[in-house]
Structure 1
Amino acid sequence: MTGERATERPRRSAAALCGLLAAAAAMGVAELAAGVLGRASSSPLPAVGAGFIDLTPVWLKDFAIRRFGDDDKTVLLLGLGAGITVAAVAIGLLGRRRLAWGLIGLAGFGAVGVVAALTRPVAEPLDTLPSAVGALAGMAALVLLARSRRPAHARPHEPAAAAEDAESAPGDRGGADRRRVLLTGAGVAGLAAAGGVGGHLLLRRGDVSSVRADLRLPGPADLARPVPAGAQVRVPGMTPFRTPGRDFYRVDTALILPQVDPREWTLRVHGMVARPVEMSFDDLLRLPLVERDITLSCVSNQVGGDLAGNARWLGVPLAPLLRKAGIRGGADQILSRSHDGMTLSTPLETVLDGRDALLAVGMNGEPLPIAHGFPARLVVPGLYGYVSATKWVVDLKVTRFATDQAYWTERGYAQRAPVKTFSRIDVPKPLAGLKAGRVAVAGTAWAQHRGVDAVEWQVDNGPWRQARLAPVPGQDTWRQWIGEWDAAPGSHTLRCRATDGTGHTQPQDRTPPFPDGATGWHSVVVTIT
């Protein structure tokens, strides 16, 4: 009995390895097919990942963003990879008992990829090919691996497990059988690796990094106001007033960054307009560009969170562009669509009320980073990003909320989402240990399009103290603040609250981000020794 168990374990391990190799072949060939088609999003892993994002409930999305931040997509792909690994092992073990069961498992694997690819907003029939071809390659690999594991004297239709049990004692023929298994496994592994690498190289043909690097944007016809001296509070650990592109928060559903060549980019303005407009990127750059400092923030930002950033944007004012198309009466929404099919809705009145709503092409003195919408995106100050900041934008439809719903509003988020008055403590950090004496308490506050008029801070439920506000170039940027504290030994809780230009003060009660942004006072606990 002990001998049977000893031989059973390596046989199961070999079967599991066969499943893993077959799945790897499926993924590699699918990646190669996606590369030949030049459609990265049709590869099974990103297609299934995007479908998973669409089906994920709001609470889980918020948890992922809160827990993993910009790494949420990496975590999702790693999780899918782990799930595929487990499924591949199961397929291998099933195939050991009945090859047909393993083949059915791989066929189901491919069917999931096909369905996921078809559910993408910009899907075409060709997008089903990578998953379908990959599944067929995986099935062929599993058959080859199963046959290679049968002893040379086994009957053709004998189950693999029975064939293994009937395997003769080691000898010359046993050595030949093992060589056949190793050679077949190496061939399948090589196919998987070659397919994956080849597909990756082919997909790099569409990379627009070099095009972006060579692009020279015109200078602004209307310069931004100079950032006043003192806008940056000079305290170690303080947030920079202007956020570098590499550090700017990124929250979107794109598992693969859209690669949009500006030479092929077009923008269509249509819907409830008298004169539909279609323009190229060159047409866009011929229009007068303006430069503005604007803070963007995400509706998923928690109290005290860092899903906000301030940048200098370069772009075309959006309101004149829409008015040129001739907005018809009754319209109340701009439904914008990105290159990958994502839709966002923006209240029309917020674009036409005089604020600096932009069709942006530049960020901090250079073309938009690819991760932030190259070659063009929307920037509308005073609204959360999910209703104002469409990246890789290619389509603007003037319509009505009653007629069209965007991606996030279909999932229960508010149609109109003005940014809430917000403040946080950046220094000292939570749970910091500090020496008694003079301590700087500093942070950042924002209320885009209303401005921040005051920030107050508090120690241990004591009286509210007025912070000193740093100057800002306008009401659409965040504002830094600082106070000084004679800190005594012990554990202390620091809190802050802001008041905006309308006189509204940030409320104390905390509410979650869904459906229109979090509220509440930010607090940190520090220890003074």
Structure 2
Amino acid sequence: MTERARLSAPHAVVTGVVALAAALAAGHVVAAFVGRSASPYLAVGSAVVELTPAWLEDWAVRTFGTADKVVLLGGMAVVLLLLAVVAGVLSRRGPGPGTALIGGLGVLGGVAVFTRADVGQLALLAPLASLVAGIGTFRFLHARALRETTENPDNPENIGGRPAPGRRRFLLGAGGVAAGAGVLGLGGQLLGVSRDAASSRAAVPPLRPVRPAPPVPPDADFAKLGTPTFLTPNTDFYRIDTALVVPQVRADGWTLRLHGMVERELELSYDDVRARRLVERTITLCCVSNEVGGPLISTANFIGVDLGELLREAGVRPGAEQLFSTSADGWTCGTPLAVVLDRDRGALLALGMNGEPLPLEHGFPARLVVPGLYGYVSATKWVTDLEVTTWEARRAYWFERDWAREAPVKTQSRIDRPVAFGTLLAGRVVAAGIAWAQHTGIAKVEARLDSGPWREAELSTVVTDDAWRMWQIALDVPRPGNHRLTCRATDRSGYTQTPLRSPVLPDGATGWHEITFTTT
């Protein structure tokens, strides 16, 4: 009996990989029309983020910092590539196994898109296109490769070293499909860019607060000694959120609904908010995932409307406990209502940042900013819905994952110079860093060299208690060798930060920041 024809391993691998490229490209280009988040690749990535346990996500932030999303997408690409290879190799005798595997991946992408909160029903067209393109390409190339194998069982080479005609036909077909997939994917990317929110942001007129933030005095930082500048440029402002792809929300289509336990529901357009009394406030934001000495803290001048005033206008009913906010991509946040309503707190519905409309990655068109609370309970980006409710009625994204319900920022300090494990000349060493206790304010920072006494550092000028404060101190280090430098802060309430180390979960890290450096 004649043995059934079988694809060569290279043919099988090329078939699987090119089919993967076609599937991803088709899904991406259709997503440009029905919603960028409908791309199956991105939707599955977002689902992975949402299903990741808190401890693992915390590890990812600690390990990869703001590159955690790039690492995730890269890891997914590697996994998909391996699955494409497996699909091809398993299908050397027939297309059935690869078709089933591609179909399973297509269904997974469809489920991920279906569960997205920021796309409509038409979004399912993207995974459908991906499924059809993947299976169609796989079966087309498989049949072409099988025909070439049947016609040229020994894959003979021509005298000139060129592939046999059948093999050339397969390679040309596979190359044509791969090139088409590349053009399709690029077209989808360009279409997505043309329909995104960048043009909407560029068209926003200047935001002019009736009450600007006080000017920052020149001695508000010690940047020449190694601290950050007092105001963080927008491009350097840290970004930690669950959005795998920045939501594309245009100002002309954005609305904010304020409802729940209120006397009067409010629905505001972007122009409605801009027409209100805009104020500008200098605020430091800090991520709860910031380890002791970590970089996840920045300061900006935010422009917006007083959030407490909006709530008082709506009329908060007795018994309400939290402001439950929802982002355009479905992420949720619970903020203690008493903090938002506190007239001294200065909570904002922010539209601008450092003199310009919010950057897309920082929440354009609008976000929440509540001083003194970690971002996961106070800083919803791309906000579209505000519900006044109780803690029992609604449980926010991170609260469901065992983070603390209420999360005031802890009093902390950090050493920026000398850098850890750096080498300096023995003699006078100037140390500098930052300290923060948002909404409480920093009263004192102390530094200690090796096991010596604590010495009080010089502090920069106070700008606001809602922002960080810089410190610097000159130390005599007469002998060469390894040295240990430690810092601690005391806030205006009289509390000195604890030396006890605790992890970021469930409500922020504690401990003194300590570095080691060497003098020669």
Counterpart of 1:19 (choices 16, 39, 44) is 16
Deviation at residue 47 of structure 1 after TM alignment: 0.5
Distance 1:18 1:350 in 2: 59
Picking from 501, 515, 518, the partner of 1:524 is 515
Cα distance, 1:171 vs structure 2 = 7.4
489-498 or 27-36, which moves further after superposition?
27-36
Q: Per-residue displacement from partner, 1:428-453 (whole Å, max 9, x unpaired)? A: 11011000111111110000010011
Deviation of 1:422 after TM superposition, in Å, equals 0.6
* Distance in 2 separating the partners of 1:512 and 1:49: 27
Tell me, in whole angstroms, the C-alpha distance in 1 between the residues paired with 2:419 and 2:299. Answer: 21
Alignment match of 1:286 (pick from 275, 294, 297): 275
Q: Which moved more, 1:125-134 or 1:278-287?
A: 125-134
Aligned in 2, Cα 1:265/1:418: closer, same or farther, shift over 3 Å?
Answer: same
Report if aligned partners of 2:448, 2:486 keep a CA contact under 8 Å in 1. yes
Residues in 2 aligned to 1:366 and 1:291: alpha-carbon distance in whole angstroms:
11
Matched residue type, 2:494: G
Deviation at 1:234, TM superposition (A): 4.6
Matched, 1:307 2:303: no
1:432 alignment partner, one of 422, 427, 433: 422
- Percent of pairs with identical residues: 48
The equivalent residue for 1:230 is 219
What is the distance in 2 between the residues matched to 1:168 and 1:468?
A: 79
- The 1-side partners of 2:503 and 2:23 are apart by 42
Match of 1:116 among 106, 112, 137: 112
Q: Is 1:57 aligned with 2:57?
A: no
- Is structure 2 residue 312 aligned with structure 1 residue 323? yes
What is aligned with 1:295?
Answer: 284
Deviation at 1:236, TM superposition (A): 3.6
Task: Specify the alignment match of 1:29 in structure 2.
Answer: 26
1:213 aligns with 2:210: no
Moved more, 121-130 or 465-474: 121-130
Structure 1 partner of 2:3: none
My pick for the range that moved more, 516-525 or 122-131, is: 122-131
Structure 2 CA distance for partners of 1:403 and 1:61, relative to 1, 3 Å: same
Q: Cα offset for 1:471?
A: 1.1
Q: 1:179 to 1:168 in 2, by over 3 A?
A: closer
369, 372, 378: which one aligns with 1:382: 372
What SS does structure 1 have at the residue aligned with 2:92?
helix
Tell me, yes or no, if structure 1 residue 149 matches structure 2 residue 140.
no
Structure 2 residue 243 is the aligned partner of structure 1 residue 254: yes
Q: Counterpart of 1:202 in 2: which secondary structure?
A: helix
Shift of 1:123: 4.5
Query: Contact 2:484 / 2:517 at 8 angstroms: preserved in 1?
Result: yes
Q: 1:265 to 1:146 in 2, by over 3 A?
A: same
Bigger shift: residues 239-248 or 56-65:
56-65
Letter in 1 for 2:18: L
2:498 pairs with 1:507:
yes
Distance 1:388 1:429, change over 3 A: same
Ranges in structure 2 where 5+ consecutive residues have no aligned partner:
1-5
CA distance in 1, matches of 2:188, 2:263: 45
Residue from 68, 75, 80 that aligns with 1:72 = 68
Q: Distance in 2 between matches of 1:352 and 1:44?
A: 41
Matched, 1:198 2:198: no
For 1:397, the equivalent position in structure 2 comes to 387
Counterpart position of 2:101: 105
* Change in 2 beyond 3 A, CA 1:309/1:168: closer
Q: Residues 125-184 of structure 1: CA distance to partner in whole angstroms, max 9, x if unpaired?
A: 322221222122111111111111124694xxxxxxxx87x5575679x83312321222
Would you say 1:267 and 2:256 are equivalent positions? yes
Q: For residue 444 of structure 2, what is the aligned residue in structure 1?
A: 454
Note the alpha carbon deviations across 1:57-115, whole angstroms, 9 max, x for none. 22221121122212111111111111110000000101113310110011011011111
Classify the secondary structure of the residue corresponding to 1:74: helix
**Would the aligned equivalents of 1:227 and 1:472 in 2 still touch at CA under 8 Å?**
no
Measure how far apart 1:205 and its partner are: 2.6
Contact 2:155 2:164 in 1 (8 A): no
Matches within 5 A, 1:138-177: 138-151=134-147, 154=150, 166=153, 175-177=164-166
Q: Is 1:81 aligned to residue 77 of structure 2?
A: yes
Identify if the C-alpha distance between structure 1 residues 169 and 450 changes in structure 2 by more than 3 Å, giving closer, same or farther: closer
1:128 alignment counterpart: 124
Query: What is the identity, as a one-letter code, of the residue corresponding to 1:83?
Result: V
- Tell me, which stretches of 5 or more residues in structure 1 are unaligned? 1-7, 155-162
Q: Which residue does 1:157 correspond to in 2?
A: none
Structure 2 letter corresponding to 1:15: A
Given that residues 446 and 454 in structure 2 are in contact (C-alpha distance below 8 angstroms), is that contact kept between their aligned partners in structure 1?
yes
> Alpha-carbon deviation of 1:303?
0.2
